[in-house]
Homo-oligomer: A and B are copies of this chain.
Amino acid sequence: MKKHNFSAGPCILPQIVLQKAAESVINFNGIGLSLIEISHRGKEFIEVMENARSLVKELLNLPEGYSVLFLQGGASLEFLMVPYNLLKVGGKAAYLDTGVWSSKAYKEAKLLGEVNVFASSKDKTYNYVPKNYKVPADVDYVHTTSNNTIYGTQLKEFPKTDKLLVCDMSSDIFSRQLDFSQFDLIYAGAQKNMGPAGTTLVVVKDEILGKTGRVIPTMLDYQQHIANDSMLNTPAVFPVYVSMLTLEWMKSIGGIPAIEKLNEAKAAVIYNEIDRNPLFKGFAEKEDRSLMNVTFNLVDESNKEAFDKLWSAAGISGIKGHRSVGGYRASIYNAMPIESVQILVDAMQQLEQQVLK
């Protein structure tokens, strides 16, 4: 039976990427060696790294002056690297709190300086994105989280500020058109839209670095990683290569404009059903709904067993909601086909027929 994998991450990748990735483990580009047994200093892997970095710049339509890095440690290590690299000694940072991941981010910043959480939606279990806030003016940078996987919310607007604007885009990078040049630093764990777990994308404007007066440990220093072309030490070769393949796939299907259209179509199919079907209700506020993670609950919890049987029988997996929200979460990242979303909608409609018959 065909599987429909709605996992929140690590998550579905395009079949063609999986095929090429598997081949590379046996024989990389026909060189007679496995990708995972060659030196990262050899010309074969250097080409992979350079190609991946240049595809990121192209897909995000970045102007000159940005560096692209593939690091390790996930967004969680970036929570520490961001203040290490941007928070001046004696300085202050501003954080927009839209969920657990934002909170984890500012917890690390607090180790290095003062943090101003200038708006939060914690009062309603983060089911909306704060608006009409005043962005602090006396800070070194403003930190945001563009998409909140657990709650299914997504920022449609970003803070207007003349300070450095930082964004954790782990769960929606490459999914929608944005003016990426409004950001001074973007970071994202690979394991949603970009590739397998194990590498972290960092896009940073060069001119903002080296200005904190802080001594930065080598591995936490963006400038050191930039000076070494993301190879300060051995990079995560396989995750970087599979990310490169996924970036190539994104380009081949038309880049972010084409991907955004597909994502909007997929999201419409499931959100329309949530709003139409009397047995379900959405979790996130409508205006803040995410195109990536669709959170919804049963109106009547007693239908849980019947619904779980239906989607499970249809080959669906990974839609259990996060424990802090309950219910269901359908993650519909870039590589998710609309056909799989339709299968889920079919299961929702079958439940309706069962219950109302």
Let me know if A210 is at the binding interface, CB within 8 A. no
Q: Which residue of B lies closest to A13 (CB)?
A: B37
**A side interface size, CB within 8 A:** 60
Q: Which residues of B contact A38 (CB under 8 A)?
A: 5, 7, 10
Question: Across the interface, do A80 and B198 meet the contact criterion of CB distance under 8 Å?
Answer: no
Let me know if A255 is at the binding interface, CB within 8 A. no
Question: Across the interface, do A10 and B236 meet the contact criterion of CB distance under 8 Å?
Answer: no
Q: Which residues of B contact A233 (CB under 8 A)?
A: 73-76, 189
Q: Known: A5-B37, A198-B198. Contact between A73 and B108, CB under 8 A?
A: no
Per the 8 Å Cβ criterion, residues 12-63 of A in contact with B are 12-13, 18-19, 21-23, 25-26, 32-34, 36-40, 42
A72 to B75, CA, bound (A): 12
CB A244 to nearest CB in B, in angstroms, measures: 14
Let me know if A347 is at the binding interface, CB within 8 A. no
Question: Across the interface, do B18 and A79 meet the contact criterion of CB distance under 8 Å?
Answer: no
A189 to B318, CA, bound (A): 32
Per the 8 Å Cβ criterion, residues 73-90 of A in contact with B are 73-77, 79-80
Question: Across the interface, do B80 and A220 meet the contact criterion of CB distance under 8 Å?
Answer: yes
Q: Of the 9-residue stretches A151-159, A211-219, A291-299, A348-356, which lies at the interface with chain B?
A: A211-219
Question: Across the interface, do B198 and A236 meet the contact criterion of CB distance under 8 Å?
Answer: yes
Q: Which residue of B lies closest to A112 (CB)?
A: B217
Q: Which residues of A contact B (CB under 8 A)?
A: 1, 3, 5, 7-13, 18-19, 21-23, 25-26, 32-34, 36-40, 42, 72-77, 79-80, 104, 107-108, 111, 189, 191, 196-199, 215, 217-220, 232-239, 242, 317-318
What are 25 A-B residue pairs whose CB atoms fall within 8 Å in the complex? Answer: A1-B32, A8-B39, A10-B36, A10-B38, A10-B39, A10-B234, A13-B36, A18-B34, A22-B23, A22-B25, A72-B72, A73-B73, A73-B233, A75-B233, A76-B218, A79-B218, A104-B218, A107-B218, A108-B217, A108-B218, A108-B219, A111-B215, A189-B234, A197-B236, A239-B239
